[in-house]
Amino acid sequence: MSRTLVLVRHGQSEWNMKNLFTGWRDVDLTEQGVAEAKAAGRRLAERGLKFDIAFTSALKRAQRTCQFILDATGQSDLTTIRNQALNERDYGDLNGLNKDDARAKWGEEQVHVWRRSYDTPPPGGESLKDTGARVWPYYLHDMQPHVLRGETVLVAAHGNSLRALIMGLEGISGPEIVKLELATGVPIVYTLNADSTVATKEVLAG
Positions annotated as catalytic residues are 10, 88
Using alpha carbons, select from 57, 122, 62, 58 the residue that is nearest to residue 96. Answer: 122
| Residues 162/155, Cβ–Cβ less than 8 Å | yes
Query: Which distant-in-sequence residues (6+ apart) come within 8 Å of 143 by Cβ?
Result: 5, 55, 153, 155
Using alpha carbons, select from 100, 18, 95 the residue that is nearest to residue 59. Answer: 95
Query: What gap in Å lies between CA 176 and CA 66, rounded to an integer?
Result: 28
Query: What gap in Å lies between CA 128 and CA 115, rounded to an integer?
Result: 9
Query: Which distant-in-sequence residues (6+ apart) come within 8 Å of 103 by Cβ?
Result: 111
